[in-house]
Structure 1
Amino acid sequence: MTTTHRLERTYPADPTTIWTLWTTPGGIARWWAPDGFTTTVDSLDLSEGGELVYTMTATAPETIEFMQSAGMPLATVSRKRFTRLDEPTTLAYASLVDFVPDREPYEFGTEVELAATDSGTRVVMSVEPLHDQTWTQRLLDGRANELANLARILST
């Protein structure tokens, strides 16, 4: 996968715990969405070529206002197709982008690597850019926020 953006973070948990939070409906629903959204997992086939389908819904007033002003629906169904699964070290998927107004649907790739460290697990997320710089920055901001949410639930 060609990547240009990397996010890294170390968590005080073992790779199996992080893997479970990243690959189960209950785990995903707890932290996946950026602030202002909730996530509901509709289906999950955790196999190479399998698909994760989830609904992300704007719930915070400022998020609702942004989505409405951008001409986007408050709830979107998202799809990720798994391209690599090496439990508990590597998770890769292609995400379908079919919610951008006036843009044909396309996919971009994400790869997540989990490595045990003395203090827990180092997570490296490599993300392909989206169709323009503005949307790529929104993606990166959302991913950084999600990783912060993961840290928050691991600290409780």
Structure 2
Amino acid sequence: MTASSKPTAHTADREIVTTRDFDAPRELVFAAWTDVKHVSNWWGPNGFTTTTHRMDVRPGGEWRFVMHGPDGTDYQNKITYIEVARPERLVYTHGGEVELEPVDFHTTVTFTEVNGKTRVTMRAVFPSAEERDRVAREYGAVEGGQQTLARLAEHLAQSTSGAADRTIVSTRLIEAPQERAFQAFANPDQLKHWWGPSGFVNTIEKFELYPGGEWRLIMHGPDGTDYHNENVFTEVTVPERVAFEHREPVHRFKMEMTFAPAGAHTQLTWRMVFESATEFARVKDFIIPANEQNFDRLAAHLAAL
């Protein structure tokens, strides 16, 4: 891993660039940056822990969090996302408010596949060379970046022992309290109005929201095609979590949906584990944007209530 300052000529003297290769698939590495369940396990230099109050990974969305230092000091942070290109690139700004740590910078994080591994490059651009040097000196930003990526490597090493090469993680901050967001799924009269990608409508034939219960529905595509779906619930914890097995049609997967309170809002996370890496590779380019469309429809449904 290297930490340096050598990108473009006009900003080279005010940048900190940190790079590391990870022995993990790019989708998983990207998810580690955008899923609260992942990021709380590795973010920050050695000895730090992180409490996330809000994480909305989309352009204009915010990640508000507190970094707890090993000496007991709390550091208030805010990141505002400018660009989210899953799973290739994140662009965000840090800081911007009086009550936050006095550190402002613009960061681009790239995720590149290199010889079966994932190369992460963090490029932080500061307002001036003097500010870059101050942050490096007072906050140990260069060493901190190295330690942070080393902690990510440790976290990914633990994660890749399971189903990482066949897992899709999608997350969205929903602007509704936990109970209300959960009921939008738990109530089939609501669920039918927003489930599925853009243009789909639903006929729910059976919905038994308890472990072992069945969920049968027909998704009517915008081209007139009907898709019959059969699911069996494996876990239901109101209003926090639902898990089910999707058995029909075509592809089979297990879905875990978590509804985590985030102040007055809800962090909704979907974790889909497919039966094989081959099946995952076949459907991921459709499923990832489809999940985002599904979140858009849910947000619009809740806003209209």
For residue 45 of structure 1, report the CA deviation from its aligned partner.
1.0
**Equivalent in the alignment of 2:41:** 30
**Equivalent pair of 1:11/1:119 in contact (CA under 8 Å):** no
The higher relative CO (CA closer than 8 Å, separation ≥ 6) is in 1
* Distance in 1 between residues matched to 2:135 and 2:53, nearest whole Å: 25
Q: How many residues align?
A: 139
Secondary structure of the corresponding residue to residue 33 of structure 1: coil
**In the alignment, residue 121 of structure 2 is paired with which amino acid?**
V
**Equivalent in the alignment of 1:92:** 91
**Equivalent pair of 1:129/1:136 in contact (CA under 8 Å):** no
Deviations 1:28-61 (A, max 9, x none): 1010121121001111111101100111112x3x
For residue 132 of structure 1, report the CA deviation from its aligned partner.
4.7
Q: 5+ unaligned residues in a row in structure 2: which ranges?
A: 1-7, 159-305
Normalising by structure 1, report the TM-score: 0.80
**Equivalent in the alignment of 1:76:** 75
**In the alignment, residue 26 of structure 1 is paired with which amino acid?**
K
* Distance in 2 between residues matched to 1:44 and 1:133, nearest whole Å: 29
* Distance in 1 between residues matched to 2:84 and 2:16, nearest whole Å: 20
**Equivalent pair of 1:109/1:127 in contact (CA under 8 Å):** yes
Which of 115, 124, 144 is the matching residue for 2:121?
A: 124
**Equivalent in the alignment of 2:27:** 16
**Equivalent in the alignment of 1:6:** 17
* Distance in 1 between residues matched to 2:143 and 2:126, nearest whole Å: 12
Matches within 5 A, 1:99-118: 99-100=101-102, 107-118=104-115
* Distance in 2 between residues matched to 1:7 and 1:119, nearest whole Å: 20
* Distance in 2 between residues matched to 1:91 and 1:5, nearest whole Å: 16
Identical aligned residues as a percent: 24
* Distance in 2 between residues matched to 1:5 and 1:132, nearest whole Å: 8
* Distance in 2 between residues matched to 1:29 and 1:50, nearest whole Å: 18
* Distance in 1 between residues matched to 2:101 and 2:113, nearest whole Å: 36
**In the alignment, residue 144 of structure 1 is paired with which amino acid?**
Q
* Distance in 2 between residues matched to 1:114 and 1:55, nearest whole Å: 25
**Equivalent in the alignment of 2:52:** 41
Q: 5+ unaligned residues in a row in structure 1: which ranges?
A: 68-73, 101-105
**Equivalent in the alignment of 2:142:** 140
Deviations 1:1-20 (A, max 9, x none): 95632211110111110011
Normalising by structure 2, report the TM-score: 0.43
For residue 99 of structure 1, report the CA deviation from its aligned partner.
2.2
Secondary structure of the corresponding residue to residue 95 of structure 2: strand
* Distance in 2 between residues matched to 1:50 and 1:132, nearest whole Å: 25
Q: CA RMSD in A?
A: 2.0
**Bigger radius of gyration:** 2
